Amino acid sequence: MPADEPRPSILWFRKDLRLDDNHALHAAIEAGGPIVSVYIREPVAHNIGPLGAAQNWWLHHSLETLRNSLRSLGTDLLFLSGEADRVLADLAGQIGSRSVFFNRAYERSSQDLEIVQTLKMQQIAAHAFHGQLLWDPQEIRTGTGAAFRVFTPFWNALQKRGEPHDPINAPSKIPAYTRPLRSEDLRSWNLIPRRSNWASHFPAVSTPGEHGAQQRLAEIIDRNLQNYRDGRDLPAEENTSHLSPHLAFGEISPARIWHATRGLPHTASADVAHFRRELAWRDFCYGLLVEFPHLHDRNWNGRFDAFQWEDDAQAFRAWARGVTGYPIVDAGMRQLWRYGFMHNRVRMIVASFLVKDLMIDWRKGERWFRDTLVDADPANNPANWQWVAGSGADASPFFRIFNPVLQGEKFDPEGDYVKTHVPELAKLDRKFIHRPFEAPKQVLDRAGIELGKDYPKPIVSHAFARERALAAYRALRG
Ligand SMILES: Cc1cc2nc3c(=O)[nH]c(=O)nc-3n(C[C@H](O)[C@H](O)[C@H](O)COP(=O)(O)OP(=O)(O)OC[C@H]3O[C@@H](n4cnc5c(N)ncnc54)[C@H](O)[C@@H]3O)c2cc1C
């Protein structure tokens, strides 16, 4: 290579599968040399283990989309497997590169530091950028410089920082490295479930990749986030953004979303404020994870370590398959299995049911969600499970126990959500849609339901379960 020619740079894609508002990409272009883009399949994708099956499906399609976008800009995407530091160092040696550009993934902050150190020892500079969250967790701190443990003061501090960075647009061209390089075949990674067509309904909800993310954003902006604040709790309606899987894979930046809501008319201000608050919850959860990397497998509040969980495999299976006899719970769990997604309100209801009615350890629920949600997130998932369980930093008190019947009647008053996901109840009278076990025989007959055959009887009595959970909680408090 002639001495005056800029060396090639490596652009390492990870939880930032986008070209828009990608600071690492931007900086790599600024460096002036040709760019080799790579996605590395690591033995352990982040500190909580490999991605779940639903996310593997998403990842496959997202990587295909990213590779197509890179090709349309004159470059390509390599797929390589192994420990990131070793793969990056080998690649750098192969192409004579001295610099790696990447965006931080806060769930693996300590690992990132090690990678930077390893590369440095081999005279390779690692340049890390921000973009996964609205703000770097180090930038939103209490007056004493500590991390926030309660959301409301965190939210106040975040708002005081003003607007997050202005997003930068995708480049129109990327300088290509023209010599051939070895890449694995994405299909050989077997990310897509082979034997069953389990994921066949996933595309009905969202389209993996950056274009899908931008389309979603355009949709919510077009409708001015209408009815977000008041309607976001109604699972039968489409009032939320469905941006979560796109955010989980970094197909869109939260700063891009935040700024897109800036131009909405004043009439949308309450909806915008509430929506931004939810985005900030994501930052908050990441702050907790950075502070406590064991968020997924240890109680934040160590007092819960002594909690007497039930070890009931049969009840867990009924919950996971959506056959508990409580329609709103079953609808949620079946929505999850079929579409890889579940509405937020229903996530709270099913999680409360597992932890409080069945008294099954929240970690088992967290793992099930991690395997089946396309938006499974290393921060949001455990933080929200711990929130529901009462063991978290800013948690709902354990003694607040959702009644699945009343929750259903309040948030799915017509039973439309239940009827969509539990079709065997489709003909049941609205009055009993959330309590089929109380319906008189002739009402059930009219709806073509025999309880215990067409639809299960409740696996537990909520009144009994509530008392049992409260007693266990009282024992914990001593
Ligand atoms: C038990 C449980 C587990 C959860 N697991 C996950 C998970 O693995 N991944 C995940 O992204 N969210 C998780 N959530 C939070 C929430 O349910 C989803 O973010 C939301 O349903 C996604 O739908 P949406 O994009 O339409 O949300 P919108 O209402 O449109 O919200 C916009 C964005 O804000 C963020 N957000 C919204 N609510 C929360 C919240 N409570 N905590 C953190 N961020 C939030 C998400 O990134 C979301 O995409 C969980 C909630 C519960 C109760």
In a domain, 173, yes or no: no
**Residues 424 and 367 both lie in one domain:** yes
**CB of residue 376 inside a 6 A radius of ligand 1:** yes
Residues 6+ apart with CB under 8 A from 456: 318, 323, 324, 325
Q: How many of the other CB atoms lie within 10 Å of CB of 256? A: 20
Closest by CA to 248, choosing from 218, 214, 222, 213, is 213
86, two tokens: 């070793």
Q: How many of the other CB atoms lie within 10 Å of CB of 412? A: 27
Three-state DSSP class for residue 456: coil
DSSP state at residue 463? H
**Residues 220 and 334 both lie in one domain:** no
Considering the entire predicted model, what is its pTM?
0.97
**Residues 113 and 159 both lie in one domain:** no
**Residues 123 and 146 both lie in one domain:** no
**CB of residue 285 inside a 6 A radius of ligand 1:** yes
In a domain, 281, yes or no: yes
Strands (E), 191-300: none
**Residues 350 and 443 both lie in one domain:** yes
* CATH code at position 45: 3.40.50.620
pLDDT score of 88: 97
CA distances from residue 41 to 210, 255, 322 in whole angstroms, order as listed: 20, 27, 33
Q: Of the candidates 131, 150, 182, which is a domain's last residue?
A: 131
**Residues 426 and 325 both lie in one domain:** yes
Q: Can you give the pLDDT of all 478 residues of the chain as single tens digits?
A: 556 678 999 999 999 999 999 999 999 999 999 999 999 999 875 555 678 999 999 999 999 999 999 999 999 999 999 999 999 999 999 999 999 999 999 998 888 888 999 999 999 999 999 999 999 999 999 999 999 999 999 999 999 999 999 999 999 999 999 999 999 999 999 999 877 789 999 999 999 999 999 999 999 999 999 999 999 999 999 999 999 999 999 999 999 999 999 989 988 999 999 999 999 999 999 999 999 999 999 999 999 999 999 999 999 999 999 999 999 999 999 999 999 999 999 999 999 999 999 999 999 999 999 999 999 999 999 999 999 999 999 888 888 899 999 999 999 999 999 999 999 999 999 999 999 999 999 999 999 999 999 999 999 999 999 999 999 999 987 6
Active site residue 291: no
Length of the chain measured in residues: 478
Q: Of the candidates 268, 291, 314, which is a domain's last residue?
A: 291
Instruction: Round to whole Å and give the CA distance between 26 and 18.
Output: 12
175, two tokens: 């300088």
**Residues 117 and 31 both lie in one domain:** yes
Quote the domain boundaries for residue 265.
Answer: 133-165+210-291
Q: Which residues pair with 451 in a beta bridge?
A: 455
> Using alpha carbons only, what angle is made at residue 13 by residues 8 and 16, rounded to the nearest 5 degrees?
135
Three-state DSSP class for residue 99: strand
**Residues 241 and 381 both lie in one domain:** no
**Residues 315 and 363 both lie in one domain:** yes
> Could you tell me what percentage of the chain is helix, strand and coil, using 3-state DSSP and rounding each to the nearest 5?
50, 5, 45
Which residue lies with its CA nearest to atom 12 of ligand 1? 380
pLDDT score of 8: 98
CB 292 within 8 A of CB 148: no
> Using alpha carbons only, what angle is made at residue 126 by residues 121 and 128, rounded to the nearest 5 degrees?
145
Active site residue 337: no
In a domain, 186, yes or no: no
In a domain, 171, yes or no: no
**Residues 78 and 218 both lie in one domain:** no
Q: What is the CA radius of gyration of the chain?
A: 24
Active site residue 301: no
Instruction: Round to whole Å and give the CA distance between 471 and 60.
Output: 46
In a domain, 149, yes or no: yes
Instruction: Round to whole Å and give the CA distance between 410 and 425.
Output: 18
Which residue lies with its CA nearest to atom 26 of ligand 1? 242
pLDDT score of 47: 54
In a domain, 191, yes or no: no
**Residues 247 and 106 both lie in one domain:** no
Which residue lies with its CA nearest to atom 46 of ligand 1? 244
pLDDT score of 197: 85
Closest by CA to 431, choosing from 457, 405, 449, 454, is 405
**Residues 125 and 248 both lie in one domain:** no
* CATH code at position 461: 1.10.579.10
In a domain, 188, yes or no: no
Active site residue 309: yes
Q: Of the candidates 78, 112, 131, which is a domain's last residue?
A: 131
DSSP state at residue 134? S
**CB of residue 348 inside a 6 A radius of ligand 1:** yes
Counting the structural domains of the chain, the total is: 3
In a domain, 389, yes or no: yes
How far is ligand 1, taken at its centre, from the CA of residue 350, in Å?
14
DSSP state at residue 135? S
